[in-house]
Copies of this chain bind each other. A is one copy, B any other.
Amino acid sequence: MRSVNIQDIAREAGVGKATVSRVINGKGYVSRETAAKIRAVMDRYHYQPSALARSLSRRESDAIGLIIPEANNPFFSSLLTGVCEVLEKCGYTLILRTSGNDTQRDYRALEAMRYQRVRGLIYVPACNYENERDFEQMASRLNDLGSPYVILDRPISRLDCDCVLSDNFSGAYAATEALIRAGHRAIGVIAGNTQLVIGRERVEGFRKAMAQNGLPLHRPFLLTGSFGQEETYRQVTMLMREPEHPTAFFIANNRSEIGFLHAMRDLKLKIPADAAFVSFDELPGQLVFELPYSCLDREVASLGAKAAQLLIRRFDEPGRPAERLVVVPRLTLRGSEKRIARK
């Protein structure tokens, strides 16, 4: 790893290394000529200072950590993109880790960030750390980190810190209302992972919309649990085979949506005639294939960008009160919500 260092440059330019340091950082007095001479030498040697040494000396690194559950997921990779863009523009270095939604890996990721002495952290937790013990653990770990952090997408309650979240409740509310306005009355909800706070908030939004409109909530129409595509497939299949079943669904997440769609296909049921729906987030490729599925959109990359901006802003104003950005998803109706007679 030995490369030319500040000492080499100083020697070659016949000056002290402090002077070289001054021209590198463009601060402190240094005469035009000296500066020019030094710059010439630096160019000649392709000199590039060492971030390592610099950070150590300044007691402040320029690395920002990002922890996401998975990189291979359109939602998180969009967040990543937003974060990336801002950091590059602002001259920070991005250190990335994934947790695979696994608590242990999540902890290890956090440790890795501490090890690297990141200047700050953008964090999409593997889960919400709701039970007392887990919460304490997490709070203390984040505290140990010793750097500011922004919680992204998945709230950890009681943590008074910057965060960028989605308004899952009102998103779900709006989606459900759209179904109601379309004329549906027997509406079901596919809740996705209710282990996660965001999952529960979505169910709550649904409930509220139903209640406000005086619509009953059939217990069997509530498909909740911590399940993915296959489980949804099974549950939807069973439900739709019952004589009494919903004419529409609010689907709280992507994976459930896929399970739902497959179930519909295998049951030979048509959308929206046999079952209408509105879901959270676009399915990847949905726009490309121009499928008329109504859903709640979030400008995902901009969520990431906002988180990065919030973090950077905190560097300058460490004292300011924690900011809580809650972005309301936009409802886009494309037809799958309609109530139409079966042909």
Query: Residues on A close to B: CB < 8 A?
Result: 1-3, 46, 48-53, 55-56, 59-61, 63, 70-72, 74, 77-78, 80-81, 84-85, 88, 93-98, 105, 108, 111-112, 114-117, 119, 144, 146-147, 258, 261, 265, 283-286, 288-291, 301
By the criterion CB–CB under 8 Å, are B116 and A93 in contact?
Answer: yes
A71 touches B80 (CB 8 A): yes
Q: How many copies does the complex hold?
A: 2
Inside 8 A of A286's CB, which chain B residues have their CB? Answer: 285
Q: Which of B1, B97, B265 contacts A88 (CB 8 A)?
A: B97
Known pairs A93-B116, A96-B96; A288 contacts B258 (CB<8 A):
yes
Which 5 A-B residue pairs are closest in the complex by CB-CB distance? A285-B285, A72-B81, A284-B284, A77-B77, A284-B285
How far apart sit A288 and B288, CA to CA, in the bound complex (Å)? 13
Bound form: Cα–Cα A105–B85 in Å: 11
Report chain B residues within 8 Å CB of A70: 81
Question: Which one of B63, B84, B289 contacts A285 once the chains associate, using CB atoms below 8 Å?
Answer: B289
Task: Write the nearest CB–CB distance from A86 to chain B, whole angstroms.
Answer: 12
CB distance from A312 to the nearest CB of B (A): 16
* Distance in Å: Cβ of A305 to nearest Cβ of chain B: 12
**Is A95 within 8 A of B94, CB to CB?**
yes
Residues of B within 8 A of A74 (CB): 72, 74, 284
A98 to B71, CA, bound (A): 14
Closest to A229 in B: B288
